Chain A
């Protein structure tokens, strides 16, 4: 069975600074990996996804993530955060032979200070 760990429950970052959110997964084969963002009162929005190929994935809102098989990681990065990036971020893994069932991490809350 797959599992996802997000080691950081809460991160505070200054506006304009870089951001990196950690995600580690456990899965027997190459998984499908996702990052979602959840703003208050909003549904989860897909930022980016990795299935295969280039291990550096570009997403929306200036986010990118890098798949590192050797470290079982899929960390999310943004070079310069904006106040609107304050939200909760979820990493998710899916079995490649499934019809779409996700295993989500517990989430990382990002606070952006002026």
Chain B
């Protein structure tokens, strides 16, 4: 595809369930970012990959959050034992290179609702 895609677009989970959110970046893009956007807020950085290497996970809220990008393309964000405060839109972005001068392209997001 031409852009960043994310699946599922919507996910409803019961508190305590595990969820997995998928991001397909633009083909050939080196950098991949995950952001969390709570209702009425701006996106908050979660983690960054350069190819398959996770170079920064400083934004992950707790050890229940885990991200991977094993082959340097598709990435999965996993949330274990979901809590109500995890309800948010999870955004994925990719860029061709590393660094802020390279445009980041965002996917449409996955809206997670934890009941």
A-side residues, CB < 8 A to B, are 4, 32, 36, 41-46, 49, 51, 90, 92, 94-96, 98-107
Q: Is the CB of A100 within 8 A of B98?
A: yes
Option from A4, A96, A106, A107 in Cβ contact (under 8 Å) with B100: A96
Among A49, A96, A98, A104, contact of B43 (Cβ-Cβ < 8 Å) = A104
In the assembly, what is the distance between CA of A50 and CA of B10, in Å? 34
Instruction: State the CA gap A48–B8 with chains docked (Å).
Output: 29
| Interchain CA distance A104-B59 in the complex, whole Å | 13
Closest to A31 in B: B100
Query: 13 more A-B contacts (CB under 8 A) besides A43-B108, A98-B100, A101-B45?
Result: A41-B108, A43-B105, A44-B43, A44-B106, A46-B104, A92-B42, A96-B100, A100-B100, A100-B102, A104-B42, A104-B44, A105-B42, A106-B40
How many residues of chain B have a CB within 8 Å of chain A?
Answer: 30
Q: Which residues of A contact B41 (CB under 8 A)?
A: 106-107
How many Å lie between the Cα of A94 and that of B33 in the bound state? Answer: 14
14 A-B contacts (beta carbon < 8 Å): A4-B42, A32-B101, A43-B105, A43-B106, A43-B108, A46-B103, A46-B104, A99-B100, A100-B99, A102-B104, A104-B42, A104-B43, A107-B40, A107-B41
Pair B98/A99 contact, Cβ less than 8 Å: yes
In the complex, which residues of chain B have a beta carbon less than 8 angstroms from the beta carbon of A94?
100
**Inter-chain contact total with CB atoms closer than 8 Å:** 69
* Complex: A43 Cα to B89 Cα, angstroms: 11
Cβ-based interface call for B55 (8 A): yes
Contact status B4-A102, CB under 8 Å: no
Residue of B nearest to A49 (CB): B103
B3 contacts which of A43, A98, A103, A104 (Cβ < 8 Å)? A43
Q: B18 to chain A: which residues have CB within 8 Å?
A: none
Complex Cα distance, B31 from A90, in Å, reads 21
Say how far B44's CB is from chain A's closest CB, in angstroms.
Answer: 7
B101 touches A51 (CB 8 A): yes
User: Does residue B25 face the partner (Cβ distance < 8 Å to A)?
Assistant: no
Beyond A41-B108, A43-B109, A46-B103, is A100–B48 a contact (Cβ under 8 Å)?
A: yes
